Amino acid sequence: MRRVLVLGGTRDARDLAARLDADPAVSVTSSLAGRVRDPVLPVGDVRIGGFGGVDGLAEWLQVNDIDAVVDATHPFAARITANAADSTARVDVPLLVLRRREWEPGPADRWHTVPDLAAAAGAVPALGERVFLTIGRQGVDAFADGSGWFLVRAIDPPDVSMPARSELLLDRGPFSVDDEVSLMRRHRIDVVVTKNSGGALTSAKLEAARRLDIPVVMVSRTPIPVGVASTSDLEVAVRWLTQPHGQRPRIV
């Protein structure tokens, strides 16, 4: 029996847990941070809450006799990804990052790519007054001093300062392109701010912005730690986990 820890909080992590749970040779535990009030739970065993940094995660891996870890967390959950790299290296447990591909701009897109949320907040005033802020609930405070009007969409309410002139829209994807177009039209949006999460669940806003010829401020990801294997392909991750060590696909 191979014991696998999936660091989750994403659709990819739930899909992976479902695949592994169906394999009698694998015992899978999914881990969630516990941020979302009403999380969509993966099948199989689930634990919820932080581990207590690198030390805590390294200890958890040893106590639970884990054979492999897949970090399938959100591409912007950079701390847990760094912690997973450090703790698995310390206790010599193989680690694979499963991460969806980044969105790429098409010829009709008007993207302004920025390195972080502070840079995104700095880029907004030159692009428009009415802003669709779709970055999740974390980091909204980077826009708290913004002078424009903000439509802030998140699953749960932000627990940080909001821009003075804003409206909160609580909603969870997937969203359709038509709905995104009407939302942006209804609120007379001039500019969309988003993080380059990738994946199909929330990409409709990009197609909607393209159709409406609205600029998008796109926040780049933090790179995966150097030397850590990664894939965007769920099937590759499953084979990496389920085949004997010598027959695992090579992933760089």
* Binding mask of the shown chain, residues 110 to 149, with x at each position contacting ligand NAP by CB under 6 A: --------------------------x-x-----------
Judged by CB under 6 A, the stretch of 78-86, 117-125, 182-190, 222-230 that binds ligand NAP is 78-86
Residue closer to ligand NAP (CB basis): 7 or 127: 7
Nearer to ligand NAP, 128 or 139 (CB): 139
Query: Is 79 near ligand NAP (CB under 6 A)?
Result: yes
**Interface residue with ligand NAP, options 46, 78, 119, 234 (CB under 6 A):** 78
Strands, DSSP E only, in the chain?
2-7, 26-32, 45-48, 68-71, 95-98, 111-114, 130-134, 149-154, 166-170, 191-195, 216-219, 229-231
Let me know how long the chain is: 252
By CB under 6 A, tell whether 203 contacts ligand NAP: no
Q: For ligand NAP, which is the closer residue by CB, 36 or 181? A: 36
CB 91 within 8 A of CB 63: no
Rounded to whole angstroms, the Cα distance separating 192 from 81 reads 27
CB closer to ligand NAP out of 70 and 238: 70
Q: Are 72 and 12 in contact (CB under 8 A)?
A: yes
Q: Contact between 225 and ligand NAP (CB under 6 A)?
A: no
Let me know the angle formed at the C-alpha of 9 by 66 and 249, rounded to the nearest 5 degrees. 50
Q: Using N-to-C axis directions, what is the helix angle for 177-186 and 204-212, rounded to 10°?
A: 50
Q: Does 199 bind ligand NAP (CB under 6 A)?
A: no
Residue 223 within binding range of ligand NAP, rule CB under 6 A:
no
Q: How far apart are CA 143 and CA 122, in angstroms?
A: 9
Among 4, 7, 218, 219, binds ligand NAP (CB under 6 A): 7
The two tokens of residue 236 are 């590759």
Q: Is 157 in the site for ligand NAP (CB under 6 A)?
A: no
Q: How far is the CB of 185 from ligand NAP (least distance, A)?
A: 26
Nearest approach in angstroms of CB 128 to ligand NAP is 23
Of 71, 77, 67, nearest in space to 98 by CA: 71
Count of other CB atoms within 10 angstroms of residue 123: 18
Residues that bind ligand NAP (CB under 6 A): 7-10, 31-33, 35, 50-53, 56-57, 73-74, 76-80, 83, 136, 138
